[in-house]
Amino acid sequence: MTGRYAPSPTGALHLGNLRTALLAWLFARSAGSRFLLRIEDLDAGRVRAEHEAGQLADLEGIGLDWDDAPVRQSDRSDLYRAALELIDTYPCFCTRAEIREAASAPHGSPAGDPYPGTCRNFTRGEQARRERSGRPPALRVRASGAHVTVTDRLAGPIGAPIDDFVVRRNDGAFAYNLAVVVDDAEQGVQEVVRGADLLSSTPRQVWLAGALGLAAPSHAHVPLVLGADGSRLAKRHGSVTLAERPEDPEYVRGMLAASLGLAEPGSAPSMEQLLARFDPAGLPTRPWTFS
């Protein structure tokens, strides 16, 4: 069950990110499997080389290792471009505000279909008129009407209708949902362990894998880390990155392990000890509140 962790180098990893990375490593290594690292750097306007270096150092600092050199999505455009040729897409000129407005109309899109299909059936003449307006289009895949049920190892069965989602943004960048499906298949990833905030994107990705004739990995979406105010952990909560913690990395690893029921509070277990104690069935199912 080859696993992976795939951070975006747009800032420092916080403790919630490190906790998810630790879990992804434990899922893979406890099964005797390979563990890969992928740098998801498609958002060229936000990624920074120093963030990537800091993230790799923090992952190593808490004891993680990985097989093979990390790959970068920015080096894989040919793979994504080839995938686009295999699926039925159409240009979409809608802004986010227009999509929200259409969805809130009295006869807007049904629940579970966030894109109302405004551009789906445009004639070539209408497309040309929109193009002359100067607004660059995104590309959407024709998927509306499909329904996918995913069985998550922790969350159970998740069923969702699939809308016509974006596979290439209007700035020309390949969309996350396309890149992650292509990457996981090309790298032989068999199990994706990630935060529960990404659960809603999984049915789309499973559908797209099928449309591309690729095998979809299994999934385990782990509970998030929350701040004391009950919102998802973020910089505003203070001292949430490894660099901001006065303790050594081993102590921070122990704190994360304790939040998972794998260690006593205040202890600093080794990676070998965590592997020996790890049982996916015993993981907490509720978010961890950090303070």
User: Does residue 235 have an active-site annotation?
Assistant: yes
Q: Which of 100, 135, 147, 235 is catalytic?
A: 235
Whole-angstrom Cα distance, residue 137 to residue 200?
A: 24
Please report, for residues 83, 93, 139, 153, 188, the alpha-carbon distance to residue 213 in angstroms, rounded to integers and kept in the order given. 10, 28, 20, 23, 14
Dig out the tokens for 29 from the structure: 């290594």
Residue type for position 279:
D
Dihedral sign computed on CA atoms, order 32, 202, 260, 38:
positive
Residue type for position 116:
P
Q: How many residues does the chain have?
A: 291
Whole-angstrom Cα distance, residue 85 to residue 232?
A: 37
Backbone angles phi, psi at 167, to 5 degrees: -115, -15
Whole-angstrom Cα distance, residue 257 to residue 245?
A: 16
Whole-angstrom Cα distance, residue 82 to residue 185?
A: 14
Residue 246 CB contacts under 8 Å (≥ 6 apart), including other chains: none
Dig out the tokens for 270 from the structure: 């080794």
Catalytic annotation, residues: 235
